């Protein structure tokens, strides 16, 4: 994270250009994914002529896009042969181990890109759906919809979820409440890694069918349940000794964050564990840059959105009566994880 946490003040006009032209680079990547160019290259369409044929883009236009992709280091060309860069091959090709094309294309490329039109109005405090939150209004009603958003989010969350499962020792825990659990990526990864753990996903109704599908595919229907509702107002199911909120605090305003922290504290038994995973900038609010940029999006239709920092998250958890264990980087340069515990000895039925 250190390399991205704090940027040296810029000195040259070219650095301003890099920022202003940056959106064109993002668009080149989104377009390449729309035509699945990296997958075609991996499958052998490794000349501009062959790629033109399989993608349906005329070669004269395709070479302009390929030039942009080469300039970004996403692909290279030698002796007329195109090749995916190592990271492209690992993350942006169908069936690759880290394939998160749908997250890049739909969550960032469609919904994210479009929603940033609202940045100016959001800074003025204007709202598009005054009676709805960010997810209900901006994503499920006007945006890409519950099924498309949740499945695209799934491809972005699977990797981090597996990472979290490696980091956390939950072998003595029994029941996870995954608040705002969306597609269930975290519940699935954590249950897969901890055979005695079961989970409940609490999220808006628009996400439930998608989550059920992924849970079925993972063979975990007997261990993962679903509750449809708004986590601020609906009753939380009882009997859970771990509460996870991943990318939820960055979607709701300050008052709702306090409610969620208090509800987590009330729901947990003594010794119970609260986990907050989200985009956070450092306490000086100087970076990391991807977290800082992402948090701009938390303001859309959410005038009380908070610029999340470890200090802020930890204070809210303490105010709710939890004992904070600390905050660590999860996805380098992007997200952090804060752990807190309900004070007191764990009851014998739910080991600490």
b/e map 174-194, b = 16+ CB within 10 Å? bbbbbbbbbbbbbbbbbbbbb
Decide if residue 111 touches ligand SAM (CB under 6 A). no
Cβ of residue 14: shortest distance to ligand SAM, in angstroms?
34
CA pair distance 249, 232, nearest whole angstrom: 11
Cβ of residue 59: shortest distance to ligand SAM, in angstroms?
39
Residue span binding ligand SAM (CB under 6 A) among the ranges 60-68, 121-129, 202-210, 338-346:
202-210
Q: Which of 203, 241, 282, 301 binds ligand SAM (CB under 6 A)?
A: 203
Q: Which of 48, 84, 200, 246 binds ligand SAM (CB under 6 A)?
A: 246
Decide if residue 185 touches ligand SAM (CB under 6 A). yes
b/e map 52-72, b = 16+ CB within 10 Å? bebbebeeeebeebbebbeee
Cβ of residue 139: shortest distance to ligand SAM, in angstroms?
7
Cβ of residue 181: shortest distance to ligand SAM, in angstroms?
5
Nearest to 244 by CA among 268, 207, 277, 283: 277
SS3 247: coil
Decide if residue 267 touches ligand SAM (CB under 6 A). no
Task: Convert residues 216-235 into a mask of x (bound to ligand SAM by CB under 6 A) and - (unbound).
Answer: --------------xxx---
Instruction: Judge whether 180 and 173 are in contact, CB under 8 Å.
Output: no
The neighbouring-strand residues paired with 77 are 82
Task: Convert residues 1-40 into a mask of x (bound to ligand SAM by CB under 6 A) and - (unbound).
Answer: ----------------------------------------
Instruction: Map tokens 């609010």 to a residue.
Output: 285
Question: 252 CB contacts (<8 Å, ≥6 apart)?
Answer: 133, 134, 232, 260, 302, 305
Q: DSSP string covering 94-119, please?
A: TT-TT--HHIIIIIIIIIIHHHGGGH
CA pair distance 181, 194, nearest whole angstrom: 18
Decide if residue 261 touches ligand SAM (CB under 6 A). no
Cβ of residue 230: shortest distance to ligand SAM, in angstroms?
4
Task: Convert residues 145-184 into a mask of x (bound to ligand SAM by CB under 6 A) and - (unbound).
Answer: --------x---x----------------------xxxx-
Decide if residue 248 touches ligand SAM (CB under 6 A). yes
**Under rule CB under 6 A, how many of the chain's residues touch ligand SAM?**
21
Cβ of residue 234: shortest distance to ligand SAM, in angstroms?
8
DSSP state of 270: T
Instruction: Judge whether 292 and 284 are in contact, CB under 8 Å.
Output: no
Binding site for ligand SAM (CB under 6 A): 133, 135, 153, 157, 180-183, 185-186, 203-204, 207, 230-232, 246-248, 251-252
């Amino acid at each position: 994270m250190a390399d991205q946490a704090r940027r040296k003040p810029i000195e040259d006009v070219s650095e301003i250009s890099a920022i202003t032209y940056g959106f064109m680079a993002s668009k080149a990547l989104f377009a390449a994914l729309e035509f699945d160019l990296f997958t075609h290259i991996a499958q052998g369409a490794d000349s501009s002529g062959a790629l033109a044929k399989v993608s349906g883009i005329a070669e004269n236009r395709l070479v302009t896009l390929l030039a942009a992709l080469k300039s970004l280091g996403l692909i290279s060309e030698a002796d007329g042969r195109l090749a995916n860069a190592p990271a492209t091959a690992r993350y942006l090709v169908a069936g690759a181990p880290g394939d998160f094309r749908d997250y890049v294309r739909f969550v960032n490329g469609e919904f994210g890109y479009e929603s940033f039109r609202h940045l100016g109005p959001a800074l003025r405090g204007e709202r598009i759906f005054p009676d709805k939150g960010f997810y209900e209004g901006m994503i499920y009603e006007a945006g890409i919809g519950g099924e498309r958003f949740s499945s695209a989010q799934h491809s972005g969350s699977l990797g981090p979820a597996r990472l979290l499962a490696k980091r956390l020792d939950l072998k003595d825990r029994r029941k996870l409440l995954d608040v705002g659990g969306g597609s269930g990526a975290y519940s699935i990864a954590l249950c897969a890694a901890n055979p005695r753990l079961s989970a409940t996903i609490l999220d808006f109704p628009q996400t439930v069918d998608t989550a059920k599908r992924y849970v079925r595919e993972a063979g975990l229907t007997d261990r993962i349940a679903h509750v449809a509702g708004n986590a601020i107002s609906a009753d939380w199911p009882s009997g859970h000794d771990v509460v996870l909120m991943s990318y939820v605090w960055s979607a709701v305003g300050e008052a709702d964050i306090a409610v969620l922290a208090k509800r987590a504290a009330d729901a947990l038994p003594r010794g119970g564990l609260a986990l907050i995973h989200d985009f956070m900038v450092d306490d000086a609010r100087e970076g990391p840059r991807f977290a800082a940029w992402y948090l701009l999006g938390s303001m859309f239709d959410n005038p009380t959105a908070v610029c999340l920092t470890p200090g802020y998250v930890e204070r809210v958890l303490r105010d709710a009566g939890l004992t904070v264990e600390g905050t660590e980087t999860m996805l380098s340069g992007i997200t952090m994880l804060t752990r807190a515990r309900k004070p007191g000895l764990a009851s014998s039925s739910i080991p600490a």
